[in-house]
Every structure is written in C-alpha cells, then in structure tokens.
Amino acid sequence: MNFSDNNRLRMHATVRQFSTSVLRQALIRPPIDVYGVGGRYATALFSAASKQKKLEQVEKEMRTLSALIKDPKLSSIVMNPHVKRSLKLKFFGDAMTKANLSPISVNLITVLADNGRLTLTADVVGAFAKMMSAHRGEVICTVTTAHPLDEANLAELKVALNGFLAKGETLILETKSDASILGGMIVSIGDKYVDMSTKTKIHKLTKIIRDS
C-alpha cells in the first residue's frame, strides 16, 4: 500500500467519524432511555418525529402498525424467516399504503426490513409508546400482587407511589395478580424495580441457610 492509499484510508476514516459525530449531535433524545435493539430504533423514530413536529401523529400510526402486525395473514408473511425481505416489505408496504401512514412510519419499516429486523416491530412500537408516555409526563407503574388488591389497599398504594413523582408527572398504575409470588408485591415504576414478594424472600432465606 503506498502513501496515497494510506491518505485516502485516513481521510475516509475521518469523514466517517465526523459523520457519526454529527448524527449524534443532531439526534433529539427522548425523555427516557429504552434499552435493547427495539429501543434504539424507537429513539431514532422519536428524534425524526420530533424534528418534524409529528410526535402525536406518529404515535397514532404506531398503534395502527401494532394492529397490522397482529393480523394473521400479514403476520404469517412478515414474521416468517423463510420469506424474502423484498416480499415481506411489499406486503407490509401495501398494508401501510392502505392505512395511509406517513413517510416517517414507512421509513421505519423500510429500515427494519433492510436490516432483517421486521420481527422487532412490536418491540419498537412498545418502546416508542413508553417514550411518548414519558414525554407527556406520565410515569408508568406496574404492581404485581399474589391476589387482587381491595379498594382500601389500592388507594393507600396510589398515595405511596405518588410520593415518587416529580412535579408535573402523572401516575399511570397497572395492577396484576400472580399467585406464584405467594405474597408481598413486585413494583416497577419508571426505571426502578423492587421485588418485595414472599417468593423472593424465601429464595434469599434458603440461599443464606444453604451457604451457612
């Protein structure tokens, strides 16, 4: 390799590094980070929609996309690893055209298809929904108990959880029942996760006894 070749390689690397830096600076970050591959695509989608002031429109279109991928006929093609990407995109594209989706949403599906990630569509939609919820100041909290909570306990729980919120935030509470945790509760609020279930306490106690 001669000197000229070396210079071209260095120049190419410099340009690529500069382009990456510019892209990072231009990215509008969502109010919360959602990790994983789906979260990265959702972050890019949030940035694009935010720049075009179409966050609410894209949010509605994500709900449409969610319904589309649940359609048995479309899902059997799009989620089939043996079907060619071009064919998947054609079927998905026809469905999106019929649903009159914006170029932002269509571009998302095109990129997912090009990267062989169409099976992650539901993950991207879910991640974007979390970002939009945080954008509105909503804090999603999921509480799992062994048995459904009565009205008195539910009201007391809401008061306690509201103490974690900052000014202007709104609690969105979802309760679930799972008899396998035996008792206590598991709380997931924002990026915090607290396992106070009887099942976990028993496991910890058992481990202590075994290790002693």
130 closest CA partner among 38, 53, 23: 38
Q: Using CB atoms within 10 A of its CB, is residue 39 exposed (0-12), middle (13-18) or buried (19+)?
A: buried
pTM higher than the cut 0.85: no
- List C-alpha distances in Å: 52 to 10, 47, 55, 56, 84: 35, 9, 8, 11, 32
Residue carrying the six token digits 């976990």: 200
Q: Could you read off the pLDDT tens digit of each residue along the chain, which spans 212 residues?
A: 443 444 444 434 433 443 344 344 578 888 888 889 999 999 999 999 999 999 999 999 999 999 998 889 888 888 888 888 888 888 888 888 999 999 999 999 989 988 888 889 999 999 999 999 989 999 888 999 999 999 999 999 999 888 888 888 899 999 999 999 999 999 988 778 889 999 998 898 898 888 87
- Which residue type does 14 have? T
